[in-house]
């Protein structure tokens, strides 16, 4: 089940587990001051957190980010479901025209299969190559 949550502490716990511990991203790069203003999605199975994403709005663009899934749920379609629920949420927001995300280089193909198009050059984000990707709403 994927829900929008106001208590996003479980989302932060998942991000610490996956981005900080697993991928070696510094906590200062992962946990930022945008979390309080973001919309947070939490995926659970049997009431256990297994995935998360966060959504920010900037003008006419919805930014989807901090998408992560616990290792045992990767390849099950949960990541795609998080993106699809994020897209549904953004479509319901007035005035938005596009969704944008910063894809880690290894995930570009995954997001391309979900309709996102790579744009612009690669850049370093927390020591990992990324490329921006966009999709019309």
Q: Are 62 and 100 in contact (CB under 8 A)?
A: yes
Pairing assessment for the beta strands 128-136 and 48-58 based on DSSP bridges: unpaired
Q: Parallel, antiparallel, or unpaired for β 61-69 and 98-104?
A: parallel
Please report the pLDDT score of residue 49 as a whole number: 98
Chain position carrying tokens 């995300």: 101
Claim: this prediction has a pTM higher than 0.85: yes
Mean pLDDT of 7-15: 98
pLDDT digits (tens, 9 = 90+) for 56-99: 999 999 999 999 999 999 999 999 999 999 999 999 999 999 99
Closest CA to 122 of 100, 98, 99, 104: 104
Q: Are 32 and 69 in contact (CB under 8 A)?
A: no
H/E stretch holding 130 reads: strand 128-136
Q: What domain count does the chain have?
A: 1
Range of 88's domain? 2-136
| Percent helix / strand / coil, the chain, rounded to 5 | 35, 40, 25
102-68-109 Cα angle (round to 5): 50
Q: Which CATH number does the domain housing residue 69 bear?
A: 3.40.630.30
């Amino acid at each position: 089940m994927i829900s929008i949550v106001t208590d996003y502490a479980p989302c932060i716990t998942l991000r610490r587990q996956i981005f900080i511990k697993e991928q070696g991203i510094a906590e200062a790069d992962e946990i930022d001051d945008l979390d309080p203003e973001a919309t947070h999605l939490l995926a659970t199975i049997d009431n256990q957190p297994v995935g998360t994403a966060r959504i920010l709005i900037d003008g006419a663009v919805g930014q989807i980010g901090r998408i992560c899934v616990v290792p045992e749920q990767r390849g099950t379609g949960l990541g795609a479901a998080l993106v699809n629920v994020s897209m549904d949420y953004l479509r319901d927001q007035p005035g938005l025209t596009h969704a944008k995300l910063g894809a880690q280089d290894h995930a570009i193909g995954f997001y391309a299969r979900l309709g996102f198009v790579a744009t612009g050059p690669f850049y370093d984000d927390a020591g990992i190559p990324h490329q921006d990707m966009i999709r019309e709403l």
